[in-house]
Amino acid sequence: MYNKSHLQNPDRMRFITLVSTIGGLCFGYDTGVISGALIFMKYDFNLTPVQEGFITSFLLFGAALGSLFGGYLSDKQGRRKNLLWVAAIFIIGALGTAFAWNVPSMIVARFVLGLAVGCASVTVPVYITELARPARRERLVTVNELMIVTGQFLAYSMNAGIVNFYPDMSHNWRIMLAIPAIPGALLWIGMLMMPESPRFLLRHGETDKAIKVLKTIRLPQEVDREVKEIQRILQIDTARLNIFAELKKPWVIQLILNGLMIVLATRVTGVNTIMYYAPTVLKATGLGDAAAVTGAVANGVVSILATLLGMVLIGKHSRRKIFFTGQAGVTLSLVLIGLSFKLFFHTEIQNGVESLHADFASASYIILGLMLLFLVFMQGWIAPVFWLMLAEIYPLRMRGLGMGIAVFGLWIFDFIIQSIFPLLLHHYGGGMTFGFFAATNVVMLILLVKFLPETRGLTLEQIENKFRF
């Protein structure tokens, strides 16, 4: 005879994961859409390279603050309530960018949108991590990464569709930027029906509510055992959370540094230079506007397929092994991209303007192919482990804040890289620019081998004990 709860509980957890990761979908769309919109926006706003960099990167600046304060608020008011606020800000930010009337208003709207992106990037993985069983945690958290790359793919596809089917549409970039208000509304409606994290409820003394939530996502015999394990950890930390006191503890500092190391390792891959500026880079190699935007759709397709591969790999191999393989793969890809720019392209000066030209017809597609190889390693090996480990390693009492600090570092690193990337590409060319990213990846690989922890197969409470004692 089948156990009814055994059939219902996995379905309930899958539904919770699907709804909450709409935040990841919004995150992905809003970070990806600018790559196509920027090509057409610059004609309306007469953008300089510096203004292009700021419009792109101010979302990242907002995301940095959103992750830091979002992580703190997640610990204070709850994961569910945070995601309701995130949904509302996604709607406001998307409509703000669509109706921006000049560069300053666009920058402000992108900053507001960034607040939602940053808060979502912290809260969604933590929410799923705290609700999922240890055996399913890795794959369910990776669904958020799948939704992020799906959002980016949808952004590229909508951009390409609008460009190819309505090439003469006035202000077509405004439609591109308005679309994510729709999933923002779906996230808000969906989260009204979702439960709060039982770990958050137990930390705030709401034991009955926590047990009620656990009964909907666990087998009956698992509930008491999990509640007792969480309560044992909570008994160790009876004092009120004091951020500055926590930062004086060596093991907490070690975790924060580990988190920032993991973040920096993923940022110096230059992944977002490829995701955000793919049409710009491809256009620089000789492709036209429509071809460059359409070619970037391939980035989205490969990212989705690679993430699905990553969801299989992460259930079979250690976190360290997957991360090292991905880091080595992206480094090789960056070296090949840099060499291709050096060997297959040359610059010409016409009417006082220096421009890049391919040595043969298919050179642009070699760059596109190497970008896709890069994304296979980045999205298939590095990204799934990256978000999962950040959601796992911090202690319960400051899990939101700890992840907020790490993701704050992520967006700050991205803000710096995305601000300078157009200038590097303009002044030094693709060869030197991608060569620089390759060199920094070698350094990070050495640090990862030495310091990256292993968390596979442990409950969140076992991970906390591992670092604490």
Mean pLDDT across the chain, nearest whole number?
81
Contact predicate 265/385, CB 8 Å: no
CA dist., res. 359 & res. 56, Å (int): 30
For the ranges 123-127, 268-272, 316-320, 400-404, the lowest mean pLDDT is seen at 268-272
CA distances from 425 to 145, 355, 428, 430 (A): 28, 11, 6, 6
In eight-state DSSP terms, residue 454 is -
Determine what percent of the chain is predicted with pLDDT higher than 70.
86
pLDDT band of residue 282 (cuts 50, 70, 90) is low
> What's the burial of 355, exposed, middle or buried (CB within 10 Å: 0-12/13-18/19+)?
exposed
Contact predicate 199/392, CB 8 Å: no
Architecture of domain 4-194+237-468: Up-down Bundle (1.20)
In eight-state DSSP terms, residue 197 is P
Q: How much is the CA Rg of the chain, to the nearest whole Å?
A: 22
CA dist., res. 281 & res. 286, Å (int): 9
pLDDT in tens, 79-112: 999 999 999 999 999 999 988 888 889 999 999 9
CA distances from 115 to 24, 96, 252, 271 (A): 14, 13, 26, 21
Domain-wise residue ranges, the chain: 4-194+237-468
CA dist., res. 244 & res. 195, Å (int): 31
Strands 345-350 and 353-358: antiparallel
Helices (H), 100-180: 103-131, 134-165, 172-178
Q: Please choose, from the candidates 88, 73, 82, 93, the residue with its C-alpha nearest in 3D space to the C-alpha of residue 29.
A: 93
Q: What is the largest CA-CA distance in the chain?
A: 81
Amino acid at position 409, single letter: G
pLDDT in tens, 129-173: 889 887 788 888 889 889 988 988 888 788 777 777 766 655 677
pLDDT in tens, 206-248: 989 999 998 888 888 888 888 888 888 777 665 566 666 777 7
Two structure tokens written together for 303: 């990212």
Two structure tokens written together for 107: 């920058």
Looking at per-residue confidence, does 250 or 208 come out higher? 208
Angle at 311 between CA 310 and CA 315, to 5 degrees: 105
